[in-house]
């Protein structure tokens, strides 16, 4: 009964004057008295947006060169205007007002405020998973509240200076649908953050229910390429359109759980190898093979330029019969490529699996050029 009364009251305020009501409704979170001592990277990620004048809605929207993926392997490539309009046809007028026009539903009115069931909250418009029940908490504000998104890349923050205050608006990363705002006034939560979301922006999928297709991570395939020092190889492969993740590591030797120091001695028989997880709908193994050959000189035996040793050899570790057949066919075709005239392609092909395991390299080797700058003389994707 209390919720209904407040709901009606809020609706009346909205009716009197929508612009004023918007500010009033967000009043409790606007100041943000808590949050001290909860300095997390996620907090920095979202709250620095508040002071970053360059990140204003509608500006700074540059289209990415290729598909974009999150750590959970969801395709979060921004949708086109046409696709958003098509998806929006299913929305109710109230959902349109909230999602497409940055509207706010009255407090305690949304159907998900008190939802305690276990499951996933997906974007009402494009179905991208945004929050989970394990990240939900009762903030008492009247809107569904979460302390963390499913994946930081799924929820973007934008500076919002409307209604006489500076706040951080949150949007779905894929369709840019309005979700609500994020505040750093939840000191008792693991992140200190309160993602204050409109029920109208969300759809709840209870555990055990079937997720819509658009909510699923992409079906991935994995490939392994050794082409000399993995720093540059990983860097380029990570940026190849359709690649979700590239990881530096060691493969093809006998030593279990090898370290970089052991690899450098050159007696483990491991090759510096990059594991590539890719989206077969956006690229394919043949395209990756072609790029792998552009990245290095496959005619050099057990070396790449100044890097000498079996750890720098050219080697493809194949997953399944189809990759093995494709890699062997590719190498035999490349042997007649004018680029390798008079030279023998030295690239080895071995099946991955069994004892041929991929061991991820130490953390300081991952994203080496992103972290440390510098670059290798290699072609861009
Ligand atoms: Zn969305």
Q: Where in the chain are all domains bearing CATH 3.30.1060.10?
A: 221-372
CA 86 to chain centroid: 24
Tens of pLDDT, residues 195-209: 999 999 999 999 999
> Is the predicted pLDDT of residue 30 greater than 60, yes or no?
no
Q: What spacing in Å lies between the alpha carbon of 257 and ligand 1's midpoint?
A: 41
The CATH architecture assigned to 221-372 reads 2-Layer Sandwich (3.30)
Q: What spacing in Å lies between the alpha carbon of 154 and ligand 1's midpoint?
A: 9
Residue-level pLDDT at 379: 82
Instruction: Say if strands 358-360 and 243-251 run parallel, antiparallel, or are unpaired.
Output: antiparallel
Collapsing DSSP to helix, strand or coil, 304 comes out as strand
Q: What spacing in Å lies between the alpha carbon of 42 and ligand 1's midpoint?
A: 20
Which residue intervals of the chain are DSSP H helices?
Answer: 2-16, 18-25, 27-30, 41-47, 81-88, 93-100, 230-238, 260-265, 285-295, 320-334, 368-372
Residue-level pLDDT at 233: 94
Residue 50 or residue 211, greater confidence = 211
Tens of pLDDT, residues 131-140: 999 999 999 9
Residue-level pLDDT at 141: 95
pLDDT range class, residue 343, cuts 50, 70, 90? very high
Query: Which residues 6+ apart lie within 8 Å of 318 measured at CB?
Result: 223, 224, 324, 326, 327, 349, 350, 351, 352
Q: What spacing in Å lies between the alpha carbon of 127 and ligand 1's midpoint?
A: 6
Quickly list DSSP for 269-300.
Answer: --EEEEEEEE-TTT--HHHHHHHHHHHS-TTS
Rounded Cα distance between 175 and 180, Å, is 14
pLDDT range class, residue 64, cuts 50, 70, 90? low
pLDDT range class, residue 60, cuts 50, 70, 90? very low
Q: What spacing in Å lies between the alpha carbon of 140 and ligand 1's midpoint?
A: 26
Residue-level pLDDT at 44: 82
Q: What spacing in Å lies between the alpha carbon of 124 and ligand 1's midpoint?
A: 7
Tens of pLDDT, residues 13-24: 333 333 222 222
Q: Can you tell me the mean pLDDT for 62-71? A: 76
pLDDT range class, residue 12, cuts 50, 70, 90? very low
Residue-level pLDDT at 165: 87
Collapsing DSSP to helix, strand or coil, 100 comes out as helix
Q: Which residues are catalytic?
A: 196, 229
Q: What is the pTM of this model?
A: 0.73
**Fold assignment, 16-215:** 2.170.150
pLDDT over 90, % of the chain: 70
Q: What spacing in Å lies between the alpha carbon of 8 and ligand 1's midpoint?
A: 29
Rounded Cα distance between 272 and 70, Å, is 25
Q: Where in the chain are all domains bearing CATH 2.170.150.20?
A: 16-215
What average pLDDT does the chain have?
A: 86
E-strand ranges in 173-251 read 178-183, 194-197, 202-206, 221-227, 243-251
> Is the predicted pLDDT of residue 236 greater than 90, yes or no?
yes
pLDDT range class, residue 45, cuts 50, 70, 90? confident
Q: What spacing in Å lies between the alpha carbon of 3 and ligand 1's midpoint?
A: 28
Residue-level pLDDT at 36: 31
């Amino acid at each position: 009964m209390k919720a209904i009364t407040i709901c009606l009251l809020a609706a009346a305020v909205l009716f009197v004057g929508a612009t004023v009501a918007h500010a009033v409704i967000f009043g409790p979170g606007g100041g943000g008295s808590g949050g001290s001592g909860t300095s997390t990277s996620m907090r920095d990620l979202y709250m620095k947006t508040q002071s970053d004048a360059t990140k204003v809605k509608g500006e700074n929207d540059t289209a990415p060169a290729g598909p974009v993926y999150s750590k959970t392997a969801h395709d979060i490539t921004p949708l086109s205007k046409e696709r958003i309009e098509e998806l929006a046809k299913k929305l109710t007028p109230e959902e349109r007002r909230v999602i497409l026009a940055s509207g706010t539903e009255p407090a305690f009115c949304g159907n998900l405020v008190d939802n305690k069931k276990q499951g996933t909250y997906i974007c009402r418009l494009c179905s991208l998973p945004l929050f989970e029940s394990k990240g939900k908490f009762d903030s008492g504000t009247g809107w569904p509240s979460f302390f963390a998104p499913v994946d930081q890349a799924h929820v973007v923050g934008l500076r919002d200076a409307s209604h006489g205050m500076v706040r951080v608006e949150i949007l779905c990363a894929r369709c840019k649908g309005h979700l609500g705002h994020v505040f750093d006034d939840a000191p008792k939560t693991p992140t200190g953050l309160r993602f204050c979301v409109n029920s109208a922006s969300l759809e709840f999928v209870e555990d055990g229910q079937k997720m819509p297709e658009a909510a699923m991570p992409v079906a991935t395939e994995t490939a392994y390429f050794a082409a000399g020092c993995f720093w540059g190889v990983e860097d380029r492969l990570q940026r190849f359109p359709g690649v979700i993740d590239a990881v530096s590591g060691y493969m093809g030797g006998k030593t279990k759980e090898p370290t970089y120091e052991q690899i450098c001695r050159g007696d483990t028989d491991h090759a510096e190898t990059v594991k590539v997880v890719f989206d077969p709908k956006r690229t394919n193994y043949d395209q990756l093979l072609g790029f792998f050959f552009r990245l290095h000189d496959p005619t050099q035996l057990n070396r790449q330029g100044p890097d000498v040793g079996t750890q720098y050899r050219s080697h493809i570790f194949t997953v399944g019969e189809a990759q093995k057949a494709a890699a062997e066919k590719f190498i035999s075709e490349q042997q007649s490529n004018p680029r390798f005239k008079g030279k023998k392609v030295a690239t080895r092909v071995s099946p991955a699996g069994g004892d041929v395991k991929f061991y991820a390299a130490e953390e300081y080797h991952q994203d080496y050029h992103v972290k440390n700058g510098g670059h290798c003389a290699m072609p861009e994707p």
